[in-house]
Amino acid sequence: MNVVITGASKGMGRAMAEIFAANGHNLFLCSRGEEQLKKTMEEIHAKNPGIKVKAKARDLSKKEEAQSFGKWILDNGYPIDVLINNAGQFIPGSIYQEEDGTLEQMMSVNLYSAYHLTRVIVPDMIRKKSGHIFNICSIAALKAYSNGGSYSISKYAMHGFSKNLREELKPFNIKVTSVFPGAVLTESWGDFDNTDNRIMVAEDVAEMVYAATRLSAGACVEDIVLRPQLGDL
């Protein structure tokens, strides 16, 4: 398979890239930071020399950069089998007191990036009548919580995008899966002590996403909800 992953240089994106690469699938990766993305690409390819790993640094919150990344993928001539819209950002705060512009930023990174990239990639999937799109939402898309603010709004919107996309693409045999992770140990948690496994690790999400691609053509995992065993923090 040929797999596109955004937000791929670290965290859940990196973990998903690792598992697909380990199972022999070609990768097209994207993130904003060019240096870290190049390092990720080189390390994954060194461990998996039999696959193709290509990467392009783009800020997908900008419409033109999301579109150019999609066109760059298609120009490589590889039919895309899996698209994972993972690029995202979390800015905490309450709606009534967060900084002006926060909603626009959260929507641009967490929703519009996926919208614009998908619109470039999906016509090729429609032509071949196959494909699988994963939209990484958040547990914040299912239940409002304190300090979620515009981040939660944007993830609710991402959930709605996924539901609509799924219905639209059913006639073309294209699957759409929404992924709702709870707390996952990534850089955003800083020096959080997880020795007692209080929260999940990125590999947990990667394992579930990869497993969903392994089903027969007649089955679709519509939603993947993952929470820490002891519940949300």
**Which domains does the chain carry?**
2-226 (3.40.50.720)
Number of neighbouring beta carbons within 10 Å of residue 223: 14
pLDDT tens track of the chain, all 233 residues?
999 999 999 999 999 999 999 999 999 999 999 999 999 999 999 999 999 999 999 999 999 999 999 999 999 888 999 999 999 999 899 999 999 999 999 999 999 999 999 999 999 999 999 999 999 999 999 988 888 899 999 999 999 999 999 999 999 999 999 999 998 888 777 778 888 888 899 999 999 999 999 999 999 999 999 999 998 87
- Report pLDDT for 233: 78
Strands 131-136, 82-85: pairing is parallel
Give which of 63, 59, 61, 70 is closest to 4, Cα–Cα: 70
Structure-block tokens of residue 1: 């398979």
- C-alpha to C-alpha distance for 15 and 23, rounded to whole angstroms: 13
Q: What are phi and psi of 51, to 5 degrees?
A: -115, 165
- Report pLDDT for 195: 84
151 catalytically annotated = yes
pTM across the whole model: 0.95
Question: Under 8 Å CB-to-CB from 52, ≥6 apart: which residues?
Answer: 26, 27, 78
Buried b (16+ CB within 10 A) or exposed e, 77-108: ebebbbbbbbbbbbbeeeeeebeeebbebbbb
The single residue of 112, 151, 156, 210 carrying the catalytic annotation is: 151
